[in-house]
Amino acid sequence: MPQALREIKGLGEKRIKALENAGIRELADFLDFLPLKYLDYTRLKRLSECSEGEEAVLRLALAGRPSQARVNGRMLTRASFFDGTDKISITWFNQPWMFKTLVNEPELLVYGRVETLRGARVLSQPRIVSEMVVTPVYRTIQGVPAKLVRELAELALDQTRVEETLPAALIERFDLMGRARAIRQAHFPDTTELLERALRRLKFEDMLCFMLNALMSKNSEASGAVIRKNEAGIARFLESLPYELTGAQKRVLDEILTDMASPKAMARLVQGDVGSGKTIVAFCAMYLAALSGWQSALMAPTEILASQHYQTALKVLEPLGVRCALLTGGTPAPAKKQIYEGLRCGEIQAVFGTHALISKGVEHCDLGLAITDEQHRFGVRQRTALGLKGNSPNVLVMSATPIPRTMALIMYGDLDISVIDELPPGRKPVKTRIVPESKREALYCFIMEEVRRGRQAYIVCPLVEESEETDAENATELYDELARTALKDARVALVHGKMKSEEKDKVLSDFAGGRTDVLVSTTVIEVGINVPNATVMVVEDAHRFGLAQLHQLRGRVGRGEEEAWCFLVSGETQRLKILSQTNDGFLIAEKDMELRGPGDIFGTRQSGAAGGLNADALKDTELLYQVHALAKEITSTHTPDAEKLKMTAQNWLRGKNEVVFSQN
Summarised one tens digit per residue, pLDDT across range 242-256 is: 889 999 999 999 999
Q: Could you tell me if 469 and 522 lie in one domain?
A: yes
Assess if residue 425 is contained within a domain: no
What's the pLDDT tens digit per position in 181-231?
999 999 999 998 999 999 999 989 988 888 888 788 766 666 778 999 999
- Give yes or no for residue 132 having a pLDDT over 80: yes
What's the pLDDT tens digit per position in 553-574?
898 898 877 899 999 998 888 7
pLDDT, residue 632, reads 87
Which of 128, 150, 173 is at the close of a domain? 128
The β-bridge relationship of strands 120-124 and 67-71 is unpaired
- Give yes or no for residue 608 having a pLDDT over 50: no
Mean pLDDT to the nearest integer, 607-625: 48
Residue 656's Cα: distance from chain center in Å? Answer: 25
Q: Is 420 helix (H, G, I), strand (E, B) or coil?
A: strand
Assess if residue 144 is contained within a domain: no
The beta-strand segments (E) located in 430-503 are 431-435, 456-460, 492-495
Which of the pair, 408 or 14, is modelled with greater confidence? 14
Task: Characterize 112-149 residue by residue with b for buried, 16 or more Cβ atoms within 10 angstroms of its Cβ, and e for exposed.
Answer: bbbbbeeeebbbbbbeebeeeebbbebbebeebeeeeb
Assess if residue 199 is contained within a domain: yes
Provide the pLDDT confidence category of residue 651 given band limits of 50, 70 and 90.
confident
pLDDT, residue 349, reads 96
Distance CA 213, CA 652 (A): 9
Q: Could you tell me if 576 and 465 lie in one domain?
A: yes
- Give yes or no for residue 329 having a pLDDT over 60: yes
pLDDT, residue 246, reads 92
Which of 546, 567, 582 is at the close of a domain? 582
Assess if residue 616 is contained within a domain: no
479-483-489 Cα angle (round to 5): 145
Single-letter amino acid code for the residue at 75: M
- Give yes or no for residue 377 having a pLDDT over 60: no
Average pLDDT, rounded, for the chain: 83
pLDDT, residue 256, reads 96
- Give yes or no for residue 426 having a pLDDT over 70: no
pLDDT, residue 2, reads 55
Mean pLDDT to the nearest integer, 324-332: 90
Distance CA 165, CA 179 (A): 7
Single-letter amino acid code for the residue at 609: A
Assess if residue 13 is contained within a domain: no
Q: Could you tell me if 269 and 124 lie in one domain?
A: no
- Give yes or no for residue 7 having a pLDDT over 50: yes
Q: Could you tell me if 352 and 292 lie in one domain?
A: yes
Residues in CB range of 133: below 8 A, 6 or more apart: 41, 42
Nearest CA to 83 out of 45, 42, 128, 129 is that of 45
By the 8 A CB rule, do 419 and 480 touch?
no
What's the pLDDT tens digit per position in 283-326?
999 999 999 999 999 998 877 778 888 989 999 999 999 999 99
Assess if residue 496 is contained within a domain: yes
pLDDT, residue 231, reads 94
Q: Could you tell me if 413 and 522 lie in one domain?
A: no
φ, ψ of residue 133 in degrees (nearest 5): -135, 170
pLDDT, residue 410, reads 59
Distance CA 106, CA 83 (A): 12
Provide the pLDDT confidence category of residue 435 given band limits of 50, 70 and 90.
very high
Distance CA 664, CA 507 (A): 56
- Give yes or no for residue 617 having a pLDDT over 50: no
Which of the pair, 514 or 40, is modelled with greater confidence? 514
Residue 367 pairs in a beta bridge with 295
What's the pLDDT tens digit per position in 523-547?
877 665 678 899 999 999 888 887 8
By the 8 A CB rule, do 341 and 393 touch?
no
Q: Could you tell me if 346 and 367 lie in one domain?
A: yes
φ, ψ of residue 542 in degrees (nearest 5): -60, -30
What's the pLDDT tens digit per position in 380-407?
556 567 777 777 899 898 887 666 655 6
Nearest CA to 410 out of 653, 625, 632, 636 is that of 625
By the 8 A CB rule, do 624 and 618 touch?
yes
Percent of the chain with pLDDT over 70: 86
Q: Could you tell me if 500 and 637 lie in one domain?
A: no
Distance CA 627, CA 203 (A): 10
Looking from the CA of 263 toward its CB, the CA atoms found within 13 Å total 4
pLDDT, residue 303, reads 78
- Which stretch of 413-427, 500-514, 595-609 has the lowest confidence by average pLDDT? 595-609
- Which stretch of 253-257, 350-354, 628-632 has the lowest confidence by average pLDDT? 628-632
The CATH number linked to 490 is: 3.40.50.300
The CATH number linked to 106 is: 2.40.50.140
Mean pLDDT to the nearest integer, 34-61: 87
Q: Could you tell me if 410 and 468 lie in one domain?
A: no
- Which stretch of 103-112, 497-506, 575-584 has the lowest confidence by average pLDDT? 497-506
pLDDT, residue 627, reads 86
Q: Could you tell me if 199 and 299 lie in one domain?
A: no
- Give yes or no for residue 606 having a pLDDT over 50: no
pLDDT, residue 406, reads 57
Distance CA 25, CA 31 (A): 12
The beta-strand segments (E) located in 43-119 are 55-62, 67-71, 74-82, 87-93, 107-113, 115-117
Determine how many CB atoms are found less than 10 A away from the CB of residue 64. Answer: 10
Q: Could you tell me if 332 and 292 lie in one domain?
A: yes
Mean pLDDT to the nearest integer, 611-638: 69
Which of 547, 563, 582 is at the close of a domain? 582
DSSP class per residue in 136-189: EEPPPBTTB-HHHHHHHHHHHHHH-PPEE-S-HHHHHHTTPPPHHHHHHHHHS-
Assess if residue 288 is contained within a domain: yes
**How many secondary structure helices (H) and strands (E) does the chain include?**
22, 25
Q: Could you tell me if 380 and 501 lie in one domain?
A: no
Q: How many domains does the chain have?
A: 4
The helix (run of H) or strand (run of E) holding residue 566 is: strand 565-569
Distance CA 405, CA 417 (A): 9
Assess if residue 306 is contained within a domain: yes
pLDDT, residue 603, reads 31
Looking from the CA of 43 toward its CB, the CA atoms found within 13 Å total 12
Provide the pLDDT confidence category of residue 649 given band limits of 50, 70 and 90.
confident
- Give yes or no for residue 145 having a pLDDT over 50: yes
Which of the pair, 119 or 124, is modelled with greater confidence? 124
Mean pLDDT to the nearest integer, 139-167: 89
Determine how many CB atoms are found less than 10 A away from the CB of residue 359. Answer: 15
Provide the pLDDT confidence category of residue 493 given band limits of 50, 70 and 90.
very high
Q: Could you tell me if 398 and 444 lie in one domain?
A: no
Residue 461 structural domain: 431-582
